[in-house]
């Protein structure tokens, strides 16, 4: 069936239902087949093509500016198919994540609770230290500052820093008991 596309586009731009139906009849089957080259589900292909015609109808005042309706529809269907494929990919990744996520989130929650409890134990243990022991220990072990620099900043001897850090470790080991190794491993102290 030979169709004068430009005349139908002009009629469509004026809101002609007849022009719309003629264009739909001419291009629908070919567009569904074209969509099938991207998506193997016929119903989805039909939905995509129908949506492109709905979009065309909703934009009918602008249709007189379209140079080639066939090229316009092919590109619209292609873009919609690619969007559908991207959407499916996202849905698949989300489904995979949610099937694994409960275990991950559960483990993360447990680790967070353990970490926060260990932080609490450490803070209580640090309260057992003298102010100088605590300052030297925190600067060295928690902030990673070298003992020489601590001695310089606090205006004390290097030997004093070494002793205060060693004393702090001894007190913490006694106070924390079985948690000592775990805390120092997790906190990288």
Q: How far apart are CA 48 and CA 32, in angstroms?
A: 8
What are the structure tokens assigned to 160, written together?
Answer: 């004093």
Secondary structure E strands in the chain: none
Higher pLDDT, 122 or 44: 44
CATH topology of domain 128-186: Arc Repressor Mutant, subunit A (1.10.10)
Distance CA 7, CA 92 (A): 44
Please state, rounded to an integer, the average pLDDT across all residues of the chain: 81
- Extents of the domains making up the chain: 5-94, 128-186
pLDDT at 38: 87
Decide if pLDDT at 117 tops 50.
Answer: yes
188 Rama sector, left if φ>0, alpha if ψ -120 to 50, beta otherwise: left
Rounded Cα distance between 54 and 57, Å, is: 5
First to last CA, the chain: 81
pLDDT of residue 110: 54
HEC assignment per residue over 64-86:
HHCCCHHHHHHHHHHHHHHHHHH
pLDDT score of 147: 93
Distance (Å, whole) CA 60 – CA 50: 15
pLDDT, residue 131, reads: 94
Span 5-94: which CATH code? 1.10.1740.10
pLDDT of residue 89: 80
- Looking at residues 55-70, what average pLDDT do you find? 76
Percent pLDDT > 70 in the chain is 80
**The predicted structure's pLDDT at residue 1:** 44
Most confident of 7-16, 33-42, 86-95, 112-121: 33-42
Q: How far apart are CA 35 and CA 46, in angstroms?
A: 8
Give yes or no for residue 168 having a pLDDT over 80.
Answer: yes
């Amino acid at each position: 069936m030979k169709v004068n596309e430009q005349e139908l586009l002009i009629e469509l731009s004026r809101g002609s239902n007849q022009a719309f139906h003629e264009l739909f009849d001419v291009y629908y089957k070919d567009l569904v087949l074209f969509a099938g080259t991207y998506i193997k589900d016929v119903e989805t292909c039909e939905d995509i093509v129908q949506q492109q015609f709905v979009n065309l109808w909703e934009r009918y005042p602008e249709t007189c500016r379209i140079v080639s309706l066939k090229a316009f529809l092919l590109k619209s269907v292609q873009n919609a198919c690619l969007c559908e494929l991207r959407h499916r990919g996202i849905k698949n990744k989300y489904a995979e994540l949610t099937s694994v996520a409960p275990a991950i989130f559960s483990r993360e929650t447990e680790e967070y609770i353990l970490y926060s409890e260990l932080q609490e134990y450490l803070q209580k243990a640090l309260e057992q230290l003298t102010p100088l022991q605590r300052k030297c220990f925190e600067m060295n072990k928690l902030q990673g500052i070298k003992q020489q620099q601590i001695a310089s900043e606090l205006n004390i001897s290097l030997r004093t820093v070494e002793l205060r850090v060693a004393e702090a470790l001894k007190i913490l080991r006694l106070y924390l008991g079985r948690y000592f190794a775990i805390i120092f491993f997790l906190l990288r102290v």
